[in-house]
């Protein structure tokens, strides 16, 4: 029969409180901008989780309570978790636990990378929306300028003597058609 130490209720309460808060933060996201903020903070949190698990593994499994001051680099800790010196053929469960903890650390790092990638993709989409909006505003402004120019041209043509108006309209039409052909733009008709 397996014998377990009494469960740490304080630790459980702390994790449950963090879980409730994390769920609430996700529920509070109501816009793409909220999601962007969430993703970048999730990336940072995943990095903290990675380091937290690494510290816990070092102190509890590898260094037997030693202070973090002497902790080796992250790379060395991960290496020891993969090939722990004290785990051998006689202790396969210990080796499995250490390897699994190493996988938890790697998974936290993957979560950090995935959240960052999702944030970057969202940033690209946000930029595309802003560019599309700027293009639409520019097209509206250009249309207003064209309307103003054509209105001015029509008023100017209206001020010409009637026998010259038709000739001027035809010349202006040819000029606008040439501009349209050279630029590929949709220029308004006089």
With beta carbons less than 8 A apart as the criterion, state whether 97 and 80 touch. no
User: What global pTM score does this model have?
Assistant: 0.66
Q: What is the pLDDT of residues 84-130, one digit of tens each?
A: 555 556 677 888 888 899 999 999 999 999 999 999 999 999 999 99
Burial tier of 21 (Cβ tally within 10 Å: 0-12, 13-18, 19+): exposed
DSSP string, 9-63: HHHHHHHHHHHHHHHHHHHH--SHHHHHHHHHHHHHHHHHHHHHHHHHHIIIIIS
With beta carbons less than 8 A apart as the criterion, state whether 87 and 98 touch. yes
Rounded Cα distance between 26 and 133, Å, is 28
Q: What is the pLDDT of residues 54-95, one digit of tens each?
A: 988 888 888 887 777 778 888 888 888 887 555 556 677 888
Tokens matching residue 29: 């996201």
Q: Kindly provide the residue ranges of all beta strands, DSSP E only, lying in the chain, ordered along the sequence.
A: none
């Amino acid at each position: 029969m397996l014998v377990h130490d009494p469960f740490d209720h304080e630790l459980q309460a702390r994790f449950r409180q963090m879980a409730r808060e994390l769920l609430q933060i996700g529920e509070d996201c109501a816009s793409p901008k909220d999601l962007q903020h969430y993703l970048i903070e999730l990336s940072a949190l995943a990095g903290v989780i990675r380091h937290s698990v690494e510290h816990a593994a070092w102190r509890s499994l590898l260094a037997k309570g030693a202070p973090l001051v002497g902790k080796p680099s992250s790379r060395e800790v991960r290496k020891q978790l993969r090939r722990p010196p004290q785990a051998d053929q006689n202790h396969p469960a210990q080796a499995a636990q250490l390897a699994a903890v190493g996988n938890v650390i790697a998974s936290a790092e993957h979560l950090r990378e995935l959240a960052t990638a999702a944030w970057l993709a969202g940033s690209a989409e946000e930029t595309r929306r802003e560019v599309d909006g700027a293009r639409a505003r520019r097209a509206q402004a250009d249309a207003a300028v064209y309307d103003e120019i054509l209105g001015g041209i029509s008023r100017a043509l209206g001020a010409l003597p009637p026998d010259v108006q038709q000739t001027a309209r035809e010349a202006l039409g040819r000029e606008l058609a040439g501009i349209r052909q050279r630029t590929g733009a949709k220029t308004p008709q006089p």
